């Protein structure tokens, strides 16, 4: 599956992709953070957590994880503060 833009705001962007069976979110902020000019990070969600994540998202048990996450991107990023 191809990497997709999960959410983009200002100088920050987060991408999402299924990678070797796991869900991976990777982010980059070109505006800097705590004295740096830019930074990057990633979060990996292993498959054994998919059922619980689908329940939290209110998705069906067979929902595509990338689609389910992208459908709730605004809520996730606000709640988890992935984008500050």
pLDDT by 10s per residue, the chain, length 84: 789 999 898 888 999 999 999 999 999 988 866 777 888 889 999 999 999 999 999 999 999 999 999 999 988 776 554 444
pTM: 0.81
Within its chain, how far is the Cα of 81 from the centroid? 11
Query: Which helix (H) or strand (E) element contains residue 4?
Result: strand 4-9
pLDDT at 33: 67
pLDDT at 37: 81
Listed by start position, the domains of the chain span 4-80
């Amino acid at each position: 599956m191809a990497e997709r833009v999960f959410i983009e705001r200002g100088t920050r962007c987060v991408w999402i992709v299924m990678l070797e069976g796991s869900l991976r979110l990777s982010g980059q902020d070109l505006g800097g953070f705590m004295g740096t000019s830019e930074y990057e990070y990633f979060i990996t969600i292993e498959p054994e957590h998919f059922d619980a994540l689908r329940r939290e998202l209110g998705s069906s048990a067979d929902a595509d994880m990338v689609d389910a996450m992208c459908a709730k991107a605004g809520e996730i990023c606000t709640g988890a503060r992935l984008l500050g």
